[in-house]
């Protein structure tokens, strides 16, 4: 795939995640897809395959008020099978707290599917807002 095709596929994934569209998400990831948040203090182990999509949807559905999730892709970088996004997210938690966080998402693709998603954000802010 071209750099532009890889970027468009990742953008589809981000849109589908924001809409909690499981069917679309599953069509965009490989069977061995890995989602990881590399922040030991966050206490989240990597998730794999369809279970990773279920975990993602559980986090989104369990943490944020329906229809309140907004994400804006601010910057992109693509180098072959690697796609990096800087994303600004605003939302309202289910407890009514305002959520405003910046993310860097690193994606790897193979055979027109996402194989890896590594998510970097201010996990302390996420925990304080969503769990505190």
What domains sit in the chain, N to C, each tagged with a CATH number? 3-130 (3.10.450.50)
Cα–Cα nearest to 67, from 131, 19, 126, 12: 19
End-to-end CA distance of the chain: 43
pTM: 0.91
The helix, strand and coil proportions of the chain, stated in percent and rounded to the nearest 5, come to 35, 40, 20
Strand partners, 26: none
Percent of the chain with pLDDT over 90: 64
pLDDT digits (tens, 9 = 90+) for 18-36: 888 999 999 999 999 999 9
């Amino acid at each position: 795939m071209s750099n532009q095709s890889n970027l468009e596929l990742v953008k589809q994934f981000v849109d589908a995640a924001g809409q909690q569209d499981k069917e679309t998400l599953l069509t965009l990831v490989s069977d061995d897809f890995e989602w990881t948040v590399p922040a030991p203090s966050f206490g989240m182990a990597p998730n794999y395959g369809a279970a990773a999509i279920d975990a993602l949807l559980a986090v989104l559905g369990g943490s944020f008020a329906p229809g309140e999730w907004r994400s804006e892709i601010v910057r992109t970088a693509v180098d072959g099978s690697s796609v990096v996004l800087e994303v600004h997210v605003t939302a309202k938690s289910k407890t009514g707290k305002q959520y405003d966080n910046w993310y860097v998402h690193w994606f790897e693709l193979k055979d027109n599917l996402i194989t890896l998603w590594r998510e970097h954000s201010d996990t302390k802010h996420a925990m304080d807002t969503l769990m505190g």
